[in-house]
């Protein structure tokens, strides 16, 4: 009998965040393993490949967090309340979909904690459910006090979710450790045993178009007499742009390209910091969602992909994983799981200690690499891509949750 999976991902069709790339990659890999994949999310402009069944729910009000920024801290509250209310509507749609597909397993790729905890208590098939914790900080280490208080309040709901699901995936051992510590379950083996560390998947280099550096820089109108440092993805406050811009001041041969939509951080704030450090002329901004068909262009233009985070962050970074798809090395910092990934695989450099001096020193050394050094790095990235492709992740999910 063919296996069936419903992927619950509210933001999958949106032009912000990681969900579209993640669900598309995992969903297509599972489809190729003869799994019938259904995806449920709020309606939006993006479309998944034809092998995946889409289930779109109209959304009455925008859930774009930037739309509420003008209200200050109250905006975070308004956004959070609306998100919880709308997630309940989406959960009801999940129940209707599962009644049509009663043998289906359900992956909660992203979710709201209160609603999912309530839903798992309500249903009679929690053993068919598993989830991914993309964030394991249930503490007060957040730039927004509202976000910090919210995450702290969610600990009991997260524990209830973990009690109900069959498996909870995280992307990194430090994420797993942080989850058990934050939820206070270190000595509860029946819960700790449900947490499974898996790599963050990405398309294999052989399956995508690779655009050469000169062509990509020409199309994007980037300076070809400078080395290019690419920051890719949604603009967020936990990405430490300040230390990168400080480093750029001491690395005159480098330009920073920032490509992606605004999240809880603005390009106006980024440019203000760039002006403060006298590097505005070496910062190029592409303030828009970058569709998958253009990823090759942006990654192709880069010499190095930069992923520098605040020290409180606990994840490997989806962009750092996407970099290997296009055989680009990563300059990372701030999160231990990302550091372990970079150093153990030899796919880039990790800034430790996380200072502008460390980053500038690395950039100045990297800028002097010859062809043989770049070839060696690309070979290591290719080998890493073989081990951590979406196909590899899909096999883990099949064995754990879709037998």
Q: What is the mean pLDDT of residues 335-360?
A: 94
- How far apart are alpha carbons 301 and 240 in whole angstroms? 22
pLDDT tens for each residue of 264-298: 889 999 999 999 999 999 999 999 999 889 999 99
Q: What is the mean pLDDT of residues 100-127?
A: 94
Q: Residue 139 pLDDT more than 90?
A: no
Q: Residue 143 pLDDT more than 60?
A: no
Q: Residue 144 pLDDT more than 70?
A: no
What Cα–Cα distance (Å) separates residue 144 from each residue in 100, 299, 331, 363?
Answer: 41, 31, 26, 31
Q: What is the mean pLDDT of residues 16-23?
A: 90
Res 89: pLDDT: 87
| Partner residues linked to 5 by β-bridges | 37, 105
Res 146: pLDDT: 66
pLDDT tens for each residue of 309-346: 988 777 678 899 999 999 999 999 998 889 999 999 99
Q: Residue 178 pLDDT more than 70?
A: yes
pLDDT tens for each residue of 37-72: 999 999 999 999 989 999 999 976 555 656 655 656
Q: How confident is the model at residue 403 (pLDDT cuts 50, 70, 90)?
A: confident
- How far apart are alpha carbons 5 and 62 in whole angstroms? 28
Q: What are phi and psi of 230, to 5 degrees?
A: -105, 125
Q: What is the mean pLDDT of residues 152-174?
A: 94
Res 398: pLDDT: 95
Q: How confident is the model at residue 10 (pLDDT cuts 50, 70, 90)?
A: very high
Residue 68: CB atoms within 10 A of its CB come to 19
Joined together, the tokens standing for residue 374 give: 């770049």
Res 16: pLDDT: 80
Res 86: pLDDT: 75
Residue 388: CB atoms within 10 A of its CB come to 21
Res 313: pLDDT: 77
More confident residue, 199 or 40: 40
- How far apart are alpha carbons 178 and 155 in whole angstroms? 12
């Amino acid at each position: 009998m063919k296996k069936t999976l419903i992927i619950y991902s509210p933001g999958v069709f949106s032009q912000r965040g990681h969900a579209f790339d993640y669900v598309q990659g995992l969903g297509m890999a599972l489809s190729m393993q003869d799994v019938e994949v259904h995806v449920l999310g709020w309606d939006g402009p993006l479309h998944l490949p034809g092998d995946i069944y889409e289930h779109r729910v109209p959304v009455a009000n925008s859930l774009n967090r930037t739309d509420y920024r003008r209200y200050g801290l109250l905006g975070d509250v308004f956004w959070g309340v609306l998100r919880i209310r709308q997630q309940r509507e989406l959960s009801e749609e999940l129940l209707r979909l599962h009644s049509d597909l009663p043998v289906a397993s359900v992956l909660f790729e992203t979710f709201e904690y209160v609603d999912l905890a309530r839903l798992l208590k309500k249903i009679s098939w929690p053993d068919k459910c598993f989830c991914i914790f993309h964030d394991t900080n249930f503490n007060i280490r957040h730039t927004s006090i509202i976000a910090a208080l919210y995450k702290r309040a969610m600990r009991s709901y997260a524990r209830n979710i973990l009690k109900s699901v069959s498996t909870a995936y995280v992307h990194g051992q430090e994420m797993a450790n942080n989850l058990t510590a934050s939820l206070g379950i270190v000595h509860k083996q029946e819960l700790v045993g449900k947490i499974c560390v898996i790599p963050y998947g990405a398309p294999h280099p052989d399956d995508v178009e690779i655009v050469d550096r000169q062509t990509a820089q020409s199309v994007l109108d980037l300076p070809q007499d400078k080395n290019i440092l690419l920051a890719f993805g949604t603009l967020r406050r936990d990405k430490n742009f300040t230390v990168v811009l400080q480093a750029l001041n001491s690395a005159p041969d480098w330009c920073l390209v920032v490509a992606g939509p605004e999240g809880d951080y603005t390009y106006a704030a980024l440019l203000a910091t760039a002006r403060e450090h006298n590097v505005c002329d070496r910062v190029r901004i592409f303030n828009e969602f970058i569709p998958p068909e253009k990823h090759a262009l942006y990654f192709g233009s880069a010499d190095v992909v930069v992923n520098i985070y605040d020290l409180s962050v606990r994840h490997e970074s989806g962009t750092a994983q996407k970099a290997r798809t296009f055989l680009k090395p990563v300059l990372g910092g701030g999160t231990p799981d990302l550091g372990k990934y970079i150093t153990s695989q030899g796919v880039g450099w990790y800034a430790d200690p996380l200072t502008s001096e460390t980053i500038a020193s690395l950039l100045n050394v990297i800028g002097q690499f010859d062809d043989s050094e770049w070839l060696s790095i690309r070979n290591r990235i290719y080998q890493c891509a073989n081990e951590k492709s979406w196909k590899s992740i899909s096999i883990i999910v099949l064995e754990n949750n879709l037998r």
